[in-house]
Amino acid sequence: MRTTLRTLTIASACTTLALVAPASALAAEPGDITFSFAVDGTSVTNTITNSSGTVIGCGTSLAPAPNGVLPPVLEVIGNGQSLYTNGDTQPGSTVQTITDVPAGSYVALASCTSVDGDTTTAWISDYPGLDEFLNGLPWTSYKVEQSSTVVTVEPSTPAPDLGSILDSGSAAN
């Protein structure tokens, strides 16, 4: 029962992307998609390289990774994420950005899907324990070799109060 529920949970999450992915004449290959995550201030970016030759639907999400430790896969895919972005990804490179990310450590995950008639192909960030869920899906699924990355957004430091600096007499006149 638990395995069925878990399979339905990941299928539901992936189906959302599959529904927005355009139909195409895609001959999918495992290496068609790559992900590269980075932090820029309070934003996390994912550069998606799409070598499939067609537009696909992709999503990037963040899940808490307390102290930089990867949580169990069910916690990551089962709860739904509030920090995410998604959209169409053209052939070539596309950057997806999640903005206003609170300070902390997160596991960065991405998935892309393509629908060609009755065939769905998915590329999903590799993650420990993911095989159990992918094996139950009626799709061709590829784990992207770039394993899920833990990213850390540092707390922002407040800008100095210019009024207090000027009042202290330390500013040159």
> Which of residues 4 and 93 earns the better pLDDT score?
93
CATH number at 22 reads: 2.60.40
What is the C-alpha to C-alpha distance for residues 63 and 126, in angstroms, rounded to an integer? 14
Range of the domain at 119: 2-150
Q: What is the pLDDT of residue 148?
A: 65
User: What average pLDDT does the segment 122-128 reach?
Assistant: 93
- What is the band of 171 on the pLDDT scale with cuts at 50, 70, 90? low
Identify whether 165 is part of a domain: no
Q: Among 101, 114, 97, 108, which Cα is nearest to 47's?
A: 97
Identify whether 15 is part of a domain: yes
Count of domains for the chain: 1
pLDDT single digits (tens) 11-48: 444 444 444 444 343 468 899 999 999 999 999 999 99
DSSP string, 146-169: EE-EEEEEPPPPPPP-HHHHHHTT
- What is the band of 101 on the pLDDT scale with cuts at 50, 70, 90? very high
